[in-house]
Every structure is written in C-alpha cells, then in structure tokens.
Amino acid sequence: MRYNGMRTSRRTVLMVSLCVSLCAGLAVAAETEQDPDSVFPDEPAARALYEKMIEAMRQAETLSYHCRYRWESKGRDLGGSRYNVWLKKPNHFRVEMSRGEGEPSGFLVGDGDFMWTYWADNRPRFSIETNEDYTKTCRHVYLKAPTPLGRHSISHLVGVLPTGMIIDASTFHGYTDSLQPYLDGAKGMGTETVDGQACDVIEVSFMKHQRSWYIWLSQQDHLPRKVKQIVRVSYDIIMYEQWSDVTVNASIADEKFVWKPPEGWQEWIRPGPDHYLLKPGTEAPDFELAAADGSKIKLSDHRNEIVWFYIWRAG
C-alpha cells in the first residue's frame, strides 16, 4: 500500500505496537512493570479456593446460572447485558442474552458437535462492515462452528451476541482458559455475604498483575456469586459479573441444546480481515490510532518511511 509516496512492507523500519480486543484490550502498562510490589506472593489457601472453583465446575454433570454483566472505564458506564447459561456433560451448552429486562435477543446453542449462533431480530453490526454488507446479511442468518470437547471457548464466542464473560463457562467442559499459563498467584481477601450466601473472596493475578480477577466464591458450592475483572492499561478497564440462581446437577432436558435453522434462514460467514484489506498498490488512507501507552499515532507523521503495524491482543 502507498500513502503519499510511502509503502507498507514486511521490512521493519518503524514498528508500532497496538492492542486490539473485542471487549477490553490488554497492554503492558509501564508503571506496572516498574512496581515489583504489584505482584503479590501466591497464598496456598487462596490458590486452593481458586482450584476448587475449577474442580466444582468440571465435576458437575449439569450447571446453570443467571449472570448480569457490565463494564466501565474512566468513570463511564460502557454498557452491559444479562444472560442465562445452561451446561450439560459431555459437551452441551446454551446461552441466552438480553439487553436490559427484555426478551432474549442473542443465542448460542452447543449440540455436542457444533455451536449455533443466531439472533431474534437483526444481528449486531461489526465495525469493519460496510452498510451494504450489513444490510444484505443482518436478518435471518446464523453462525455455525465446530465445538471439539475441551477445545472451544464460550467466553470467546459470546462477543457476537454481543455480551461479555469473565469466568469462561467452557471450564465446565474441560477447557483451560487462555490466561491460566500467565497466572501469578492468588491471595485471600476475607469473607463477605452475597445474596445470603457466605463467600470467600480472593484475588487472582495474571501477567504480573496487568489483569486481576476478584471472585466471591460461595462456601456452599465453591462457585462464584460475584466477579470483578480489572485490566490495567494506561487506564483501568473494569468488568463485573453478578451470578444468581446457581444450580448444580439438576435435570436439564436434551431439547434445551438442540436448534435447527428455520426455513429460509442462511448461514452467515463472518468476514475476515482479508475481505477488507486494501489491494497492493492502493494508496493508504491517513488514520490515527491509540498506542498501548496512551499516545496517538498518525500515519501521515511517517510520510516516506516504511511502517510495519503489529496488531496484537492477549487474553
């Protein structure tokens, strides 16, 4: 691509690191790297509570719960949703998402082999779509994807409903959350009562405290009743989950996990980046982006230089 005499190339003269994510990007905050006290010692008792939560999810034959989710940053409410989750061994799941107090508008159904995503009305529009592309495919469409046991993530899928999820429901099916290899440790934060449930409160730190989960674990079933996540970039991004109606090992009919596209519906293939890339030789439009350190990067500031954009995410 060319911008006023500048071409992008695989050769690196200038490397710009950006952080991109569906809900909240994770970048390295310089102040966190420089503060060795931000990573606390791992407390065996708190780590045991965290592992007991994972064990409780994986040993259950069925699990269902209601969740209210919201997120905020810089003192601004960025929105939220509520959703219901049903999980059944060996590999079945259903998620129904609603905005506000209305009827469900987005659905995920895992039938054991495939995940089906569909919407009661128009599907959400994704930022890279043109008006024309969206108008053609916004109604009576669904997504379909394989769900190999222990290798699919409901948390990574719910963004298309759209909603967010901190504790990955696929832990129930044996999936290991992508953050787990970067777990620093856990520490206890006392006890607290949530909706009549006595809870042990722990903080779990990831990636040198760049991300934390605060989890209120019921002393009765060792499952969450509240979760707060803080992502520490040049500012804090905070997400909340409030769990209720948590039910373990109740009977759930197999019909809950079955869905077939109605007549006239079509499978929608979500466009990938290649669909929107500029063709070789096309002049690159000017743009401005936020870097991981909070500064601004403008393409035209690097006129006549070769620029490599390295776009990444973690978590």
Residue pLDDT, tens place only, 82-99: 999 999 999 999 999 998
The reply to whether omega before 90 is within 30° of 0 (cis) is yes
Q: Does domain 30-267 have CATH number 1.25.40.10?
A: no
Share of the chain above pLDDT 70, in %: 85
56-60 own/partner pairs: CB under 8 Å, 24+ apart: 56/221, 56/222, 56/223, 56/248, 57/171, 57/172, 57/223, 58/171, 58/172, 58/174, 60/87, 60/89, 60/172, 60/248, 60/249
Give CA–CA dist 262/123, Å, rounded: 16
pTM over 0.75: yes
How many whole angstroms from its chain centre is CA 159?
6
Tokens coding 83: 């959703």
Residue pLDDT, tens place only, 232-246: 988 899 999 999 999
Sequence spans of domains, the chain:
2-28+279-312, 30-267
Residue pLDDT, tens place only, 114-143: 999 999 999 998 877 888 889 999 999 999
Backbone φ and ψ of 228, nearest 5°: -130, 130
CA distances from 134 to 116, 123, 138 (A): 20, 9, 6
Higher pLDDT, 128 or 152: 152
Residue pLDDT, tens place only, 263-309: 999 999 887 767 667 788 888 888 898 877 878 889 999 888 888 87
Which pLDDT score, from 0 to 100, does residue 233 have? Answer: 86
